[in-house]
Amino acid sequence: MPESPVLSLQDLKTYFFTRSGTAKAVDGVSLDLSKGETLGIVGESGSGKSVTCLSVLRLVPPPGRTVGGKILFEGRDLLEMPERELRQVRGKQIGMVFQDPMTSLNPFLSIGDQVAETLLVHERMGRRQALRRAAEVLEKVGISEAASRLNDYPHRFSGGMRQRVMIASALIGNPKVLIADEPTTALDVTIQAQVLELFRQIKADFGVSIVLVTHNLGIVAGMADHVAVMYAGRVVEYALTEELFSNSRHPYTLALLETLPRPGEAGHNVRPIPGAPPDLMQLPPGCSFYDRCPFHEQHCLEEAPPLLPVGKDHLASCWVNITTGR
């Protein structure tokens, strides 16, 4: 029998209720994360990637609210779990690396206290022992002489080092799942490469399952086992990474790939995606990508396409049969 996924989202719906209307930020997302796997979630800003991740730990800020679906962690629905039990999951069993380490780290607390917090809360470990463990984990994520830097504050660290501190904070509880929400945002290319290499090491050393969220397909190319492409709050394509790049079946995925530079291919012009994503408060009755899609047909305007199998372990949400064979 195949092993059950460690994390499973089933028809997840998270909406934001405002005076202007209801924004369907996550609208029926279903995803599975297997043990030891890296799942990449890609899409433009506003596609629902970050809200999906925040929904997992029930951290969506008001006026947002998860209104439907299931989030199964090792078979238990986190949406049905009492808050007291959920606090034992956050940080300890599911760790999260947030987008901006400068705003996520508390500027008034030392690095050591922030990294050790999970152990103090979940393990009831003494402060001295927790700080010693914090120094060990900080060393593992590439902060040299970490023991001498435990009393430093976030402003004393570079952007790349602050991101490493965030990763250490997420790892110190030895979680089974690590969610990384745009972990390379605002970092220069060299530091990005170092952070991504760190995630490869984490996967190998800790055996953790990773959800890697990004707007850049190039980042997940060498990192993810499976990729889910999100657009306007929905998953529009899901496949093994190699399959997604070689045989994309959704026009939005094709458009994302056209935004990537191709070293060695003379004459290839990077093409931006025309238009803008739809207003999540006024989604069309048909395909949300209709206005930006070069392949659209009349039927696409009338009815939203379901996410259906288009190959082995490959799903796509499109009425038009697109084959690429890249």
- Tally of structural domains, the chain: 2
Q: Which of 198, 231, 264 is the last residue of a domain?
A: 231
Q: Tell me what pLDDT residue 2 has.
A: 60
Q: Tell me what pLDDT residue 326 has.
A: 43
Are 40 and 137 found together in one domain?
A: yes
Are residues 292 and 272 in contact, defined by beta-carbon separation less than 8 angstroms?
A: no
Q: Is pLDDT of 175 > 60?
A: yes
Are 244 and 216 found together in one domain?
A: no
pLDDT tens digits for range 193-249: 888 898 998 898 888 999 999 988 888 998 999 999 999 999 999 999 999 999 999
Q: Is residue 2 part of a domain?
A: no
Mean pLDDT score, 262-280: 76
pLDDT grade for 16, boundaries at 50, 70 and 90: very high
Are 245 and 226 found together in one domain?
A: no
Q: Is pLDDT of 137 > 50?
A: yes
Residues 6 or more apart whose Cβ sits within 8 Å of residue 68: 11, 12, 13
How many Cβ atoms sit within 10 Å of the Cβ of residue 324? 12
Question: Hey, CA dihedral for 92, 98, 102, 106, is it positive or negative?
Answer: negative
**Burial (Cβ within 10 Å: 0-12, 13-18, ≥19) of residue 100:** middle
Domain membership of residue 179 as a residue range: 7-231
Q: Tell me what pLDDT residue 28 has.
A: 97
Are 162 and 303 found together in one domain?
A: no
Q: Which of 198, 213, 231 is the last residue of a domain?
A: 231
Rg of the chain over all Cα atoms, to the nearest angstrom: 20
Q: Is residue 158 part of a domain?
A: yes
67 or 274, greater pLDDT? 67
pLDDT grade for 124, boundaries at 50, 70 and 90: confident
| pLDDT, mean over the chain | 91
Length of the chain, in residues: 326
Mean pLDDT score, 64-92: 95
Q: Tell me what pLDDT residue 102 has.
A: 73
Token pair 């925040």 is at which residue? 54
Mean pLDDT score, 124-147: 93
Are 193 and 257 found together in one domain?
A: no
Q: Is residue 187 part of a domain?
A: yes
What's the CATH code of the domain at 183?
3.40.50.300
Mean pLDDT score, 133-140: 94
Are 136 and 270 found together in one domain?
A: no
Least confident stretch, 115-129, 182-196, 269-283, 301-315: 182-196
**pLDDT winner (highest mean) among 79-93, 162-176, 225-239, 255-269:** 225-239
Query: What percent of the chain is predicted at pLDDT more than 90?
Result: 72
Are 149 and 238 found together in one domain?
A: no
pLDDT grade for 292, boundaries at 50, 70 and 90: very high
Q: Is pLDDT of 186 > 90?
A: no
Are 190 and 225 found together in one domain?
A: yes
Q: Tell me what pLDDT residue 185 has.
A: 77
304 or 266, greater pLDDT? 304
Mean pLDDT score, 48-74: 96
The letter for the amino acid at 291 is D
pTM score: 0.92
Q: Is residue 1 part of a domain?
A: no
Are 84 and 96 found together in one domain?
A: yes
Mean pLDDT score, 149-163: 92
Q: Which of 184, 202, 231 is the last residue of a domain?
A: 231
Are 289 and 223 found together in one domain?
A: no
Mean pLDDT score, 165-186: 91
Q: What is the b/e burial string over 256-294, where b = at least 16 CB atoms within 10 angstroms of the residue's CB?
A: bbeeeeeeeeeeeeeeebeeebbebeebbebbbbbebbe
Are 190 and 64 found together in one domain?
A: yes
